[in-house]
Amino acid sequence: MSIGINVQTQGEIMFVTLTGELDQMTTDQVKLRLMTAMLAHGIKHIVFNLKGLAFMDSSGIGMMLGRYNQVKALGGKVFIIGMNPTISKVFHLSGLHQVMTVIDDEKQMMRVLEEAI
């Protein structure tokens, strides 16, 4: 199964929707796409929507950590929406919940972003 990557930007915020399976085979593809978009649009904050992501292993955590380090250097933040229970467990084991903001309800996304940024 391959990965689907949808990237939309709004000012300094990049909205990334991932679908399919994020593993070692697909992380490089995602990383390249995101780094290109970040550079092209002067991105400072990232919102990952994982609602359509069926599977993610620690390769995905490594990729997200890499993007977090990039935006952190610019004073930016990373937000996560729509983790399934297994991805949520992996995410919590990694400790990323301490540095990224998890948005439980997609409807609250814009309000959370306005307050946090």
Partner 1 sequence: MKNEVQVTFPALIENASLARLMVMGVLTPLDVDTQQLTEIKTVVSEAMTNAIIHGYEGNPHGLIELKIELEDDRLAVMIKDNGVGIDDVEQAKQPLFTTKEEEERSGLGFMIMESFTDEFHVDSAPGVGTTVTFERKMVSK
103 bridge partner residues: 81
- Tokens 């946090």 belong to residue: 116
21 in contact with partner 1 (CB under 8 A): yes
- In the three-class reduction of DSSP (H, G, I as helix; E, B as strand; rest coil), residue 72 is classed as helix
Structural tokens at position 84: 């399934």
Structural tokens at position 63: 């990729």
- Given the complex with partner 1, which of 93 and 117 has the nearer CB atom? 93
- Given the complex with partner 1, which of 37 and 96 has the nearer CB atom? 96
21 bridge partner residues: 55
Range 57-96, binding partner 1 (CB under 8 A): 57-59, 61-63, 65-66, 84-86, 89-90, 93-95
Question: Which range in 7-15, 17-25, 71-79, 103-111 contacts partner 1 by CB under 8 A?
Answer: 17-25
49 contacts 81 by C-beta, under 8 angstroms:
yes
Site residues (vs partner 1, CB under 8 A): 1, 21, 23-25, 27, 31, 54-59, 61-63, 65-66, 84-86, 89-90, 93-95
